[in-house]
Amino acid sequence: MKIFFSRPTLFLLLGIPLIVIGIPAGIYGMTLGGGASLGGVLIFGYVLAILAVVLVDRFAVKFTSNKTLSLIELFVLVFGLTIHYYQNRTIKIEIENHKSDYMLVIENPGNLKNDYYLKEFPFNRFIATNKNYVIIDKMADNINLNMLSEWNNSYSYNVYEFEKYPKVKVFSNPTFARKGNITQNFIDSLINNR
């Protein structure tokens, strides 16, 4: 056991506490009823993956110095986190018009002016608007709206494709009466009244 912990590396120092925390959390998760017990199974899956990484780390430390291996592991960790945050980037939209019943998010087909946004660490974007629509250069999978209290903390969501606007996402108050009537002409009228 002493040999296993000799020459510590980054993955060893991060992996062992995660395994120690993950095992009881997984056991607790599996004692929950119904579908909630799947959380415990997922945690055990992560614990097994971390254990495999630690074992590979212990094997690799025999062939290289622990400082070199730790630097390589740091690079792999930073690279992996960068990819994770990039794939999960979000557009956050602050609706300043509290009387608004809907919000259209329109991907710019190339002939419109994008709305101004602030960059948030690491890859997120923040847009504050008092209009009922925003125009963005590239549609994101994750769009978060500030939840208006007038919408009772819920919204309806639809995706549309039009000839002039290939990607349009519509978020609306669940009581909004125009849900099915979002057309290309309706979007044209919003943009022309800019």
As averages over each run of 10 residues, the pLDDT of the chain (194 residues) reads 79 94 93 87 95 94 92 95 91 85 88 86 89 88 79 83 89 73 82 74
pLDDT at 147: 65
Q: Which two tokens stand for residue 88?
A: 């999960």
Nearest partner of 57 among 68, 43, 47, judged by Cα: 68
> Quick one: pLDDT at residue 16?
94
* Domain boundary assignment for the chain: 2-87, 90-192
pLDDT of residue 142: 86
Backbone torsions φ then ψ of 41, nearest 5 degrees = -65, -40
Identify the pLDDT of residue 180: 60
pLDDT attached to residue 36: 83
Which pLDDT belongs to residue 116?
Answer: 86
Could you tell me the pTM of the whole model? 0.71
